[in-house]
Structure 1
Amino acid sequence: MTQDIRYALRQLAKTPGFTFLAVLTLALGIGANTAIFSVVNALLIRPLPYPEADRLVQVAEVTNTGINTGSDGGVFSDWERQTTQLESIAALHTVDRNLTSGGEPVRISGADVSFRYLHVLRVKPLLGRDFTAADDAPGGNRHVVILSHELWQSRFLGDPGIIGRQVQLDSSSYTVIGVLPPLALLNPGISFLTPATIRADAYKLVRNYNYVCVVIGRLEAGATMEQATAELVAARQAINHEYPSFRQNWSIRVRSLQEALFGNTRPFVLTLLAAVGAVLLVACANVANLLLVRASGRGGEIAIRVALGASRGAIIRQFLTESMLLAIGGGIVGLLLGAWMVRPIVTFTGLATTIPGLEVSIDPRVLAFTVAATLCTGLLFGLIPALSATRVDVNSSLKEGARGSTSGSRRRLQSILVVAETALTVVLLVCAGLLLRSFLRAFNASAGFNREQALVFSITQPGTKAPTVDHRLRFVRDVVERIRALPGVAYVGVGSSTPMNGRIGFGDFVSREDQPLTRNDLNAGFDSAYADFFPALGVPLLRGRFFTEADNGEKAPLVMIINEVLARRLFPDRDPLSQLLNFKNQTWQIVGVVGSVRQFQLDIDPTPHVYLPERHFPWHTMIIVRTHVPPLTLAGDLRRAVQSVDPEQPIANLSTLEVAVENSLQARRVMLTLVSLFAGLALLLAAIGIYGVISYTVAQRTREIGIRIALGAGLRRVVRLVVGDGFRLVLAGLALGAIASYGAARLLGTQLYSTSTLDPLVLLLVTVLLAGVALLACLVPARRATNVNPVEALRAE
């Protein structure tokens, strides 16, 4: 074996150009696979960065249609009493609060948690202590806070004496009892933790989503998720009569916390892994073709070795040694390239900001994957040339000037490899084309609102400053009046959320008052709306009227506005105006119908939605400002206008609707860019492969071409002959790739928006593109063929 390695190194050193090209080709394929597998490993394979992370689970309710709805305070309280399969269980309720300590007022996000939350994760504060049962109990000191490491560093400059200090959250004093370790919660939105005190507040225990929670738990040693699910389902049946009717047929799901956090990324990252896997196969086919070309020039050497007694196994071993050395070189360079690619990919995909605690790196598992990919690659592209090299005719190969008798079989093998890589390239190009078509259709979809010239931001008055609904209404009214007075402002609206904000959304069940049983079937989003909410968003009024100031009166009738989707769903055969709906256990009269808005993403169709006057849901406040001037130029004026009403009131999440719409397509943009990049790389490799095969064919047919020219064949005919050889391979690859791409597109179907998996236009464009590239790849050797001198060609033979 040592002798084989030395000989292989000498052979590769003799052809540095070939060696460099082969190693670079493999490095590109292996490096891309290493980088993408690092992401797959971090999201789906490597355990979460907590002790015994395989025991961490999320517990949630599941509707009749299979939708995971999370939970609420009352349901969590039931589960906390009922479970024996979970060693511990905890709830988290996200909150936003105004921080007025340590600098300018800012709006920060955090969470109310039950006292076992950090215990479930096995996270210990870096400084101070965890919550205790007394902090979370009725009558306990709920005004204690644990700061995230990031907030501690940025706002309080990492002051080690922070423990025991008072900080102002929503104008209330909280005692700092702890600081978390860096990136402890895998959530960039949580800057602090405070006690949830669920059992201390009656409204939190109502099983009607008054206090929405995410519930996590840690399984008992030896317990399974199936056992925990069965136990909670059985316990639920015993008290099911205490639940609202629309929840009595729901089920319970216990799944791993890792799946709950990252499971929705599975189709995305596995698609990328399949794409880079295809690129690696194309790279293997290219290197195999290079080795076949190289083997054709070593016929004499192999014949001599066979004549001297070398066995077929020895020849195969020698060629495989060379291919494995190339693969190892490609693997080493690919590993370095993959390690370099990880950070740009993580940044580009947004993982760096959405999951800042996620570690994407080259760990032993990724290293093992790269080693396995390298070894498999070496065998894959080396075996065919090795077997081909042993089919040598010793007698003819030893005759001076004789053409290798195996050249025809090698050409067939090369042709097969070109067809295969062309087919793989077609698959990648078709998938990229479908993703592009899907992205363009999503981007051009009607949002239902006017995304241009509109600024949005959020403000919220703390309960200490606005203890009643009337206080909140007066504050909002004053803010709206100040903003309206600013030059350049067209409309000012207020709502509990805005479309595609990425953070806040509200929903509940709605039914016709005369058909109460339909409440089990229809979940509607809802928002409060005040002032010029609809004109500021650019949502049209289709029937009826908008809300007026009178609708916010304390004794005003309960009225609502519904969107067109809900109107069609509930009232397909009658006018919805003045009809009655049951919503949140009250009866509301419909006074208006507005256009439907895509609330979440451009590629998610509008869903049923209702709007209520501000009085009935004043707890979250988002301001929409439509302007006559570039929106962001008013940012400073808006801050001053808000703080002229309350100097301690910060504004948060300041952005434009255009940015919100663009962010809603971030996942599609990332997928499209990366798949297109890999498809482009495959196209380049395929072009190199076609060029290599045609060049090799021209070299092998020099005598034939010379004779044709000597007998009067025109140069155009020679070009057609050479180009025709290449196009036959391309056409075969196109046909095979078209069939394979249909299957690949079906697997991609869940990621396509309003795009058929069998799109003739995409296939036509891919065909034209690949044909154009193939033509260019064939023209260079074709022109070389026209320069063959018949006399020299015949003498050479």
Structure 2
Amino acid sequence: MDSLRQDLRYALRTLKHTPGFTIAAVVTLALAIGANTVLFSAIHAMLLKPLPFRSPAELVRIWCDQEGIAFASVTPTELLGWREHSKGFSELAGFSRHDLSLTGGDTPERVRAARVTPNFFKLLGTPPTQGRDFVDEDAQPDNASRTALVSHGFWRDSMGGAADAVGRDIMLDGHSHTVVGILPEGFNFPDFGDDVEVWLPDWMNPEAHGNHYMRVLGRLAPGISMEAATADLPRAARAVHEARVGDKPDKAHAVTTLRWQEHLTASSRPVLWALWGAVGFVLLIACANVANLLLVRALARQRDGAIRAALGASRRRRVQQALAESVLLGLLGGVIGLLLVMWGMELVRTLLPESMLRMTPVELSVPALLFSLGLSVGAGLLFGLAPALHTTGMDVLPLLKQSSTAVGARANHPLRNMLVAVQLALALVLLVGTVLMVQTLRNVQGVSPGFDAEGVLAGRLSLPDVKYPQPENLRGFYAELLGRLRALPGVESAGVVNDAPLGGSNTNGDFTLEGGSVNPTARHVAEFRVASSDYFRTLRIAVRQGRDFGPQDSEKGAPVIIVNESFVRTFLGGNEPLGRRVRLDWSDNAPFREIIGVVADVRHSRLTEPATPEAYIPFEQYPLRVMSVVLKTRREPSTLAGSVRLELKAMDADQPIFDLLPFDSRMERQLSRPLATTRLLAAFALLALVLAGVGVYGVMAYSVGQRTRELGIRLALGAHPRQVLGLVMRQGLRLTVMGVGMGLLTAGVCMRLLASLLYGVNANEPTVFVGVALVLAGVSLLATWVPALRASRVSPSVSLRAE
């Protein structure tokens, strides 16, 4: 231990006497270690840390798997049937997201709400901290029981944190609901994009066999594996299908399952692993760079080491002394790197879903600090071990016979060359990944979503059934509202739709196609929208065939429907759609609807996902309470927000409008993740490129410095400066070719791992590989040219007097 303390004090004195080297090495390591700590913190929070629920490994998400829709919501009939017939799950709960209006105060407020089956919180293992949980009696048809659980935040902010809050009534959508319980502080349900404030019991209508709106979460039964429970669900699904009322030609729905944490992190997982791989490469490049610097110092101090060895110092002690210096450098880099972590975490948070961040925040936790400490020590050992072993393993006697200036005069050191080649190879991999992500970002930005978001303002309304109990009330309200909005200055058109594109909401359901489809044995499911006559014109959704909705498509008109191009391809095989008839199987007495038009495909969920089969029903024939209002304006959309609220207040002072924002903001949210990923990769790649260039320059400058006498003799004997320049450039070229060749092979493997993040570009795009290789070769040769030019200008007389 005493010897280690002595070595650390000696290393500290040595580093203080060489501030330039120390600063360069510490800053390089700080950037690399800090970046790795940030990515570890995110991966630990999102992927490694268990969800904060009881036995989270037992929680499983379940979907229907439909033709054209891989992860479809579930009907109440199916959930009831699964509960009865499936033996693989001890609990199955349903949930769905809603917006409600809270009244009774000075102004109406939006309340983020969810409807859940009564066993929902029992499944999660999260009982209320005050009051009671839901019971089966709370779930009544038409929500007749009117009970509610509220979040801790709602209780604190909207109920004043009152001690007698349990038992109080709150007005939601015009109905009085009794608060029966308050949920724990910090409770967050990550399957929703935002914090839910009020939870209501949901009654599962056994007749709603065609209405897919429920999401399902299950808990594995004791002793049952995920595979066994999943294999049991298709059998349960067939039993549900056979028990359904009515003679229907379709087959039972297939079933898809995923562990809940795997589902929640599915979109973030490849991004995080890819970025961690990138910062891992940066760390390796930084280690190679510092190792090269240490090797130069070690070669210059070989004679000192030989004297120590002659005086009795063992090789182990000399290696320990060398490693003490490198580990100290690593620890200093780790400490400075922690100062960069908080800034880096803000960048990484843009890549992760907000719901998961609220539940498991990315922060500098104890595991992250331990990781940073281990990485600092490990990096110090990594970049210090090879130079230490190499220099302490050389024969002592020849070193003692040489003069101090001759020691280490071997210019073209193979270890240094290999370290530089590794830096070039890793930098090439990062540059290729960055270029591919830049191309991906451009491709996503160039995607045609099927609509025009420019100049569009969108907001969402949820009308309470107390004030608007009948379909005619809904028709009257939205007709008056659209009339008022169309009269606003600068408004070109206005319409309503239940699920606007890129808004995070969706509705799908079963349907029957009269006369059959191209796949008569399949059970048909499509996305369904309810839209007004001006909706397509407002969003500039092209009508490819037939016509748009018009005044004739009123509640008294013939039942009609408009489908998209994907619907025609999937279910009609491209055959003539106009005149065909479709029946929505949401109820047994639903009418057949004639297809009157075909519209362009719209990318509804994400820009990078292809359009799915969609069908549009006229609002007048199927009015809904929850609708999105869209306005096309010649002005800046946000300037109309105040006017929209005033018009709404004039109609109904208790009716709030939610998320009233320009439609462009939805497009920006779609681009935020690939943009942040590209920026981070670009920053890492630029750092890698600089480090690799510095590494090449350092090797060549050291080589030229060690060969000064040789080059001077060549010039004195008549060599032309161009020949000396070419001699040094050839050495740099060999390094470049070796590094680029290694990099191309490595990139060919690594880019396959990046393929899931790419869009519209091949992971092994030859032009990208060739272009990046040429750029990196150019940087490397430029870094070689500077010391080569200096070598060609060496004065023979000065170099010959060097000894």
Provide the TM-score with structure 2 as the length reference: 0.91
637, 652, 656: which one pairs with 2:658? 652
**2:419 aligned residue:** 417
Deviation (angstroms), 1:421 = 1.0
- Report which stretch shifted further, 642-651 or 626-635: 642-651
Q: Distance in 1 between matches of 2:546 and 2:200?
A: 45
627, 632, 655: which one pairs with 1:626? 632
> Any idea what SS the aligned residue of 2:214 has?
strand
Contact in 1 for aligned 2:169/2:177 (Cα 8 Å): yes
Q: CA, structure 1 residues 13+141, in 2 after alignment: closer, same or farther (shift >3 Å)?
A: farther
Q: Distance in 2 between matches of 1:91 and 1:124?
A: 17
Q: Where do residues 275-354 of structure 1 align in structure 2 (5 Å cutoff)?
A: 275-338=278-341, 340-341=342-343, 343-349=345-351, 351-352=353-354
Deviation (angstroms), 1:765 = 3.8
Q: Distance in 2 between matches of 1:433 and 1:522?
A: 41
Deviation (angstroms), 1:393 = 3.9
Contact in 1 for aligned 2:567/2:614 (Cα 8 Å): yes
- % of aligned pairs identical? 34
Q: Which amino acid aligns with 2:516?
A: Q
Contact in 1 for aligned 2:563/2:598 (Cα 8 Å): yes
Deviation (angstroms), 1:232 = 4.2
**1:195 aligned residue:** 200
Q: CA, structure 1 residues 179+450, in 2 after alignment: closer, same or farther (shift >3 Å)?
A: same
Deviation (angstroms), 1:737 = 1.2
Q: CA, structure 1 residues 652+599, in 2 after alignment: closer, same or farther (shift >3 Å)?
A: same
**1:31 aligned residue:** 34
Q: Distance in 2 between matches of 1:715 and 1:15?
A: 38
Q: CA, structure 1 residues 237+446, in 2 after alignment: closer, same or farther (shift >3 Å)?
A: closer
Contact in 2 for aligned 1:172/1:464 (Cα 8 Å): yes
**1:736 aligned residue:** 742
Deviation (angstroms), 1:140 = 8.3
What's the CA shift string for 1:386-423, capped at 9, x where partnerless? 22113424333223437657654872111111111111
Contact in 1 for aligned 2:116/2:201 (Cα 8 Å): yes
444, 467, 473: which one pairs with 1:465? 467
> Any idea what SS the aligned residue of 1:162 has?
coil
User: Quick check: 1:608 aligned with 2:613?
Assistant: yes
> Any idea what SS the aligned residue of 1:465 has?
coil
Q: Which amino acid aligns with 1:504?
A: S
Contact in 2 for aligned 1:296/1:404 (Cα 8 Å): no
> Any idea what SS the aligned residue of 1:68 has?
strand
Q: Distance in 1 between matches of 2:646 and 2:350?
A: 35
Q: Distance in 1 between matches of 2:597 and 2:277?
A: 49
Deviation (angstroms), 1:758 = 2.5
Q: CA, structure 1 residues 353+674, in 2 after alignment: closer, same or farther (shift >3 Å)?
A: farther
Deviation (angstroms), 1:377 = 2.3
Q: Which amino acid aligns with 1:214?
A: R
Q: Where do residues 260-659 of structure 1 align in structure 2 (5 Å cutoff)?
A: 260-338=263-341, 340-341=342-343, 343-349=345-351, 351-352=353-354, 355-401=357-403, 407-408=409-410, 411-501=413-503, 503-509=504-510, 512-516=513-517, 517-518=519-520, 520=522, 523-554=525-556, 556-572=557-573, 574-584=575-585, 586-614=591-619, 615-616=621-622, 618-659=624-665
Q: CA, structure 1 residues 354+224, in 2 after alignment: closer, same or farther (shift >3 Å)?
A: closer
**1:702 aligned residue:** 708
Contact in 2 for aligned 1:92/1:215 (Cα 8 Å): yes
> Any idea what SS the aligned residue of 1:551 has?
coil
Q: Distance in 1 between matches of 2:266 and 2:624?
A: 34
Contact in 2 for aligned 1:302/1:392 (Cα 8 Å): no
Q: CA, structure 1 residues 522+677, in 2 after alignment: closer, same or farther (shift >3 Å)?
A: farther
Q: Distance in 1 between matches of 2:163 and 2:345?
A: 32
Q: Distance in 1 between matches of 2:469 and 2:581?
A: 31
> Any idea what SS the aligned residue of 2:216 has?
strand
Q: CA, structure 1 residues 35+312, in 2 after alignment: closer, same or farther (shift >3 Å)?
A: same
Deviation (angstroms), 1:431 = 0.5
Q: Which amino acid aligns with 1:672?
A: T
Q: Distance in 1 between matches of 2:548 and 2:294?
A: 74
Contact in 2 for aligned 1:57/1:219 (Cα 8 Å): yes
Q: Which amino acid aligns with 1:565?
A: S
User: Quick check: 1:54 aligned with 2:60?
Assistant: no
**2:165 aligned residue:** 162
Select the structure that is richer in helix: 1
Contact in 1 for aligned 2:139/2:145 (Cα 8 Å): yes
**1:241 aligned residue:** 242
Deviation (angstroms), 1:638 = 0.8
> Any idea what SS the aligned residue of 1:115 has?
coil
Q: CA, structure 1 residues 725+264, in 2 after alignment: closer, same or farther (shift >3 Å)?
A: same
Contact in 1 for aligned 2:299/2:407 (Cα 8 Å): no
Q: Distance in 1 between matches of 2:526 and 2:241?
A: 23
Deviation (angstroms), 1:626 = 0.3
**1:3 aligned residue:** 3
Q: Distance in 2 between matches of 1:86 and 1:6?
A: 63
Q: CA, structure 1 residues 162+375, in 2 after alignment: closer, same or farther (shift >3 Å)?
A: same
Q: Which amino acid aligns with 1:420?
A: V
Q: CA, structure 1 residues 420+673, in 2 after alignment: closer, same or farther (shift >3 Å)?
A: same
Q: Distance in 1 between matches of 2:78 and 2:144?
A: 24
- Report which stretch shifted further, 107-116 or 176-185: 176-185
**1:678 aligned residue:** 684
> Any idea what SS the aligned residue of 2:417 has?
helix
Contact in 2 for aligned 1:493/1:533 (Cα 8 Å): yes
Q: Distance in 2 between matches of 1:431 and 1:550?
A: 55
Q: CA, structure 1 residues 579+281, in 2 after alignment: closer, same or farther (shift >3 Å)?
A: same
Q: Distance in 2 between matches of 1:240 and 1:523?
A: 15
Deviation (angstroms), 1:480 = 0.6
What's the CA shift string for 1:193-244, capped at 9, x where partnerless? 4433425xx3x6523235x222223345544333433454444444441259
Q: How many residues align?
A: 790
Q: CA, structure 1 residues 471+138, in 2 after alignment: closer, same or farther (shift >3 Å)?
A: closer
Q: Please, what is the CA RMSD of the aligned residues?
A: 2.8
User: Quick check: 1:769 aligned with 2:775?
Assistant: yes
The runs of 5 or more residues in structure 1 that have no matched partner are none
Deviation (angstroms), 1:36 = 0.5
Deviation (angstroms), 1:639 = 1.0
User: Quick check: 1:93 aligned with 2:96?
Assistant: yes
Q: Which amino acid aligns with 1:58?
A: R
> Any idea what SS the aligned residue of 1:589 has?
strand
Q: Distance in 1 between matches of 2:9 and 2:605?
A: 58
Q: Distance in 2 between matches of 1:770 and 1:256?
A: 43
> Any idea what SS the aligned residue of 2:101 has?
strand
Q: Where do residues 99-178 of structure 1 align in structure 2 (5 Å cutoff)?
A: 99-136=102-139, 142-178=145-181
Contact in 1 for aligned 2:350/2:672 (Cα 8 Å): no
**1:666 aligned residue:** 672
**2:211 aligned residue:** 209
- Report which stretch shifted further, 637-646 or 786-795: 786-795
**1:259 aligned residue:** 262
What's the CA shift string for 1:361-384, capped at 9, x where partnerless? 333433443344334323322222
Q: Distance in 2 between matches of 1:722 and 1:87?
A: 73
- Report which stretch shifted further, 86-95 or 532-541: 86-95
What's the CA shift string for 1:732-762, capped at 9, x where partnerless? 2222212221222222112111111232443
Q: CA, structure 1 residues 619+385, in 2 after alignment: closer, same or farther (shift >3 Å)?
A: same
Q: CA, structure 1 residues 558+129, in 2 after alignment: closer, same or farther (shift >3 Å)?
A: same
- Report which stretch shifted further, 533-542 or 311-320: 311-320
Q: Distance in 1 between matches of 2:133 and 2:14?
A: 67
Contact in 1 for aligned 2:562/2:599 (Cα 8 Å): yes
Q: CA, structure 1 residues 409+788, in 2 after alignment: closer, same or farther (shift >3 Å)?
A: closer
Deviation (angstroms), 1:50 = 2.4
Q: Distance in 2 between matches of 1:761 and 1:103?
A: 63
Q: Which amino acid aligns with 2:284?
A: L
Q: Distance in 1 between matches of 2:45 and 2:471?
A: 46
Q: CA, structure 1 residues 508+197, in 2 after alignment: closer, same or farther (shift >3 Å)?
A: closer
- Report which stretch shifted further, 396-405 or 667-676: 396-405
User: Quick check: 1:750 aligned with 2:750?
Assistant: no
